[in-house]
């Protein structure tokens, strides 16, 4: 009897300790807010109950002589099973929800945000910039002569090029910049709290890094080095009344000018009014 009762209490304590792992997994992945605080509080309660189980085992070790002495350890054990089950299911459910959310906003080929999510973010970022007096810029990027890659190496290599380039671009931007697949091989980068001059510097730096590095692509015949250049159109939110669609339209016009200028260059749209210019900043 003593061994049975003691084993139930210790097994319950072990289950509580195991329940902390999915709870801390959730706590780590959640963003700051009331939900994160609630899970932190729950982890504290579980740790408190774990210590209670250990203290109970210490106090009543070797004192169980009748089946009635097993009632409390029995409740402890199945209570620990309940806590472990609920915490584990919560972690699995949260992982599934997060994965679905990521799939809903991520382009499956390039691994960056999709256009649907872009059309959710841009109005919000534009409104935030206006209400708080912040600057906002965007880059619109197109791969130069991408059709040649598909025609020369096939579409499977072309798909890999898009994936590798998207990763390279994500590594070149700041953590709070947002990278979207705009369409085809075009990529849009949203740069919050960033003026035109800063955006131009970032665009030129990105253009140079892409031009100087060959992409390593894995094929059936081994590694393939693919040399690429990109053209960029840059626009900054104007102080005048301008919505996000106009901001994108100006960046698109600047990108078109960059391609007409010979590609591998950056063009900046200086403003939305008729006197504004499309200014060529850098050319390869």
Q: What is the pLDDT of residue 146?
A: 92
Query: What's residue 137's pLDDT?
Result: 96
How much is the pLDDT for 243?
86
Q: Are 276 and 270 in contact (CB under 8 A)?
A: yes
Predicted pLDDT at 71: 72
Q: Where are the alpha helices (DSSP H) in 30-154?
A: 34-59, 71-105, 115-132, 146-153
| pLDDT for 98 | 64
Residue ranges per structural domain of the chain: 2-105, 115-283
Cα 169 off chain centre by: 14
pLDDT tens by residue, 155-182:
888 999 999 999 999 999 998 999 999 9
Which pLDDT belongs to residue 24?
A: 81
pLDDT of residue 177: 94
For domain 115-283, give the fold: Alpha-Beta Plaits (3.30.70)
Dihedral sign computed on CA atoms, order 76, 82, 87, 88:
positive
Enumerate residue ranges in the chain where pLDDT < 50: 275
* Residue 185 designated active-site: yes
Single out the catalytic residue among 2, 119, 185, 204. Answer: 185
Angle made by CA atoms 105, 109, 112, in degrees to the nearest 5: 45
Q: How many helices (H) and strands (E) does the chain have?
A: 8, 8
Which pairs with CB-CB distance under 8 Å and at least 24 residues apart come from 257-260? 257/233, 258/231, 258/232, 258/233, 259/142, 259/144, 259/231
């Amino acid at each position: 009897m003593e061994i049975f009762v003691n084993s139930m209490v210790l097994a319950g304590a072990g289950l509580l300790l195991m329940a902390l792992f999915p709870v801390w997994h959730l706590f780590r992945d959640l963003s700051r807010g009331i939900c994160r605080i609630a899970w932190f509080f729950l982890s504290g309660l579980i740790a408190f109950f774990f210590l209670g189980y250990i203290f109970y085992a210490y106090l009543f070790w070797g004192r169980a002589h009748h089946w009635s002495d097993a009632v409390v350890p029995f409740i402890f054990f199945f209570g620990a099973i309940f806590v472990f089950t609920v915490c584990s299911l919560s972690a699995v459910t949260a992982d599934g929800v997060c994965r679905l959310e990521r799939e809903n906003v991520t382009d499956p080929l390039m691994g960056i945000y999709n256009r649907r999510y872009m059309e959710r973010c841009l109005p919000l970022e534009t409104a935030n910039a206006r209400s708080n007096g912040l600057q906002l810029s965007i880059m619109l990027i197109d791969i130069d002569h991408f059709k040649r890659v598909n025609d020369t190496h096939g579409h499977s290599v072309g798909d890999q090029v898009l994936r590798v380039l998207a990763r390279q671009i994500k590594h070149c931007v700041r953590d709070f910049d947002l990278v979207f697949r705009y369409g085809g091989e075009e990529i849009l980068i949203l740069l919050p709290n960033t003026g035109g001059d800063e955006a131009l510097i970032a665009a030129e730096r990105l253009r140079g890094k892409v031009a100087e590095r060959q992409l390593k692509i894995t094929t059936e015949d081994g590694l393939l080095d693919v040399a690429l250049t990109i053209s960029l159109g840059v626009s900054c939110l104007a102080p005048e009344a301008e919505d996000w669609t106009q901001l994108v339209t100006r960046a698109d016009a600047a990108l078109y000018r960059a391609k007409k200028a010979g590609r591998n260059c950056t063009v900046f749209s200086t403003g939305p009014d008729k006197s504004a210019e499309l200014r060529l900043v850098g050319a390869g």
